[in-house]
Amino acid sequence: MNDVTEAVEGYTCPAQRALRHLDAFLADPMCGQCFPCALGTYEARTRLESMTRGEGTDDDVRVLERIAAAVLEGSKCRKGKDAARFLAEAIATPGFGEHAAGVCQDRECRSLTTYAVASDICVRCGACKAACVNDAIFGEPQQAFRAGYPAFEIRQRRCERCGECAAACPHGALRATDVALARGRSR
Kindly list the residues in this chain that would bind another protein in the complex (CB under 8 A).
26, 30-36, 38-40, 42-43, 46-47, 63, 66-67, 70, 73-76
DSSP H stretches of helix in 28-163: 35-52, 58-74, 78-92, 127-131
What are the backbone dihedrals phi and psi of residue 114, each rounded to the nearest 5 degrees, phi first?
-135, 150
Beta carbon of residue 57, minimum distance to another protein (angstroms, whole number): 12
Contact (CB, 8 A) for 85 and 72: yes
Number of other residues whose CB lies within 10 A of the CB of residue 88? 18
Residue whose CB is less far from another protein, 52 or 113? 52
Residue whose CB is less far from another protein, 3 or 160? 3
Contact (CB, 8 A) for 68 and 88: yes
Question: What is d(CA 93, CA 34) in angstroms, rounded to the nearest whole number?
Answer: 28
Contact (CB, 8 A) for 108 and 16: yes
- By CB atoms closer than 10 A (0-12, 13-18, 19+), residue 116 is middle
Residue whose CB is less far from another protein, 91 or 169? 91
Beta carbon of residue 40, minimum distance to another protein (angstroms, whole number): 6
Residue whose CB is less far from another protein, 24 or 30? 30
Beta carbon of residue 33, minimum distance to another protein (angstroms, whole number): 6
Residue whose CB is less far from another protein, 77 or 118? 77
Beta carbon of residue 150, minimum distance to another protein (angstroms, whole number): 46
Number of other residues whose CB lies within 10 A of the CB of residue 148? 4
Residue whose CB is less far from another protein, 34 or 182? 34
Beta carbon of residue 5, minimum distance to another protein (angstroms, whole number): 20
Question: What is d(CA 40, CA 67) in angstroms, rounded to the nearest whole number?
Answer: 6
Beta carbon of residue 64, minimum distance to another protein (angstroms, whole number): 11
